[in-house]
Amino acid sequence: MQILTKIGVIKGMIAGISIPYLDAVPVTVFGKSMTASVEKTFDRLGESEFSRRVVVTGGNFLYVVGFLRNISELGSYVEFVKRAAEMPEPTVGINCLDDGLSPDYPVDGVGKRKQSYKELSPLDLKIIASLKDNARRPVADIADMVGASAKTVRRHLENMMSEGSLDLSMPSDLALGGDMFLVTHVNLRDGADKGEVGRRLLSKSPFQDQYMRTFSNLPSLLIWVFWSGKMTEIRKALREVGEDEDVLAVMVNFAFLERIYTTWRDKLPEVRTRPSEKTNAHNLHSGLGTGNPGRQTECPILALGMSGLSIKARPNGQSAVRLWPQCHTPPERAYMVQAAAIKNRALGGGHETNVSRVVRTGGSE
């Protein structure tokens, strides 16, 4: 882990209240940008409290993911993105919340949702706030910060993870990850069941790391996101998708830049736990109007199982590291170190890296 952080692949680990718990609305605004400076556009898009992630692909085609408190904020946010990204003709997608085409953990706020959630307590909020900028903080340090015992903190962390109210993410630099990152538009014939088609296409796909995004207001569009290091594999998969009876057209975009931002969601624990304010965990749901090295301690993230991380050994001895964007640890794997859950597809030699060892020591095998 230390090596991956040092070379810039991993940009740290962060935590926040989960989007499903907040009943917030994740949206994606995408289209061609007329900007002459992607970096300046990144900066402008980050001025909104709703912007969560921006992905840049070839031809200045941008994908802007936003987290809205409620749907009434959609119009003003789209107008903001049009101006900030110089995107005159954007397509706006309201992300389907649980279409069964995503991994077991949330990506951009999309994932399995429960009918109801247990309310976060004041202590829960303090714990989340302590992890906001460093989710690898040892449990003992968290306990000191929130004024509770390590046992109590550990129990609250376990409960929040199993409940799905705590969201853990690991921002990364895709350019250093080794594999190509593709965002593919799959247009379907009228009347096609996008869930059924999506599941069928995913089942036939050879890619280990992939998911599909659907939108409630765009019934004939699937956005297929995947990673691969082999051009022949990519070409074959795209050809097979194009031959599906329900597919009308396929458009591929190669991604090369990404930025992740702090949103209103990430500020909630800190705001709600200030001494001058009374904390009411229930008000965090949708509709909220305002937004030492040798010390032997347990780090909550290191014990969670690094789902979404794969390290591939190459014949030349180098490693290619691939991360899900904002890769999230599924709640059901909380507090379990599972090297087997982070399997590597070796490129020759059949070598597998023990990720649990890498995570704990910063070394490699």
The average confidence (pLDDT) of the chain is: 76
pLDDT digits (tens, 9 = 90+) for 255-277: 999 888 889 998 888 766 555 44
Dist. CA 337–CA 350, nearest whole Å: 22
SS (H, E, C) 279-319: CCHHHHCCCCCCCCCCCCCCCCHHHCCCCCEEEEECCCCCE
**Mean pLDDT lowest for which of 185-194, 317-326, 334-343?**
334-343
- The pTM for the full model equals 0.73
pLDDT of residue 119: 92
- On whether the CB atoms of residues 127 and 165 are closer than 8 A, the answer is no
Stretch (H or E) spanning 359:
helix 355-361
CA dihedral 100, 202, 225, 260 (to 10 degrees): 40
pLDDT digits (tens, 9 = 90+) for 47-102: 999 999 999 999 999 999 999 999 999 999 999 999 999 999 999 999 998 777 87
CA dist list (Å): 63 to 53, 169, 200, 335, 355: 8, 19, 25, 33, 31
Is the model's pLDDT at 191 over the cut of 60?
Answer: yes
- On whether the CB atoms of residues 55 and 257 are closer than 8 A, the answer is yes
Q: Rounded to a whole number, what is the distance in angstroms from the first to the last CA of the chain?
A: 13
> Which two tokens mark 23?
């009943």
Give CA 201 to chain center in angstroms: 22
Stretch (H or E) spanning 227:
strand 218-228
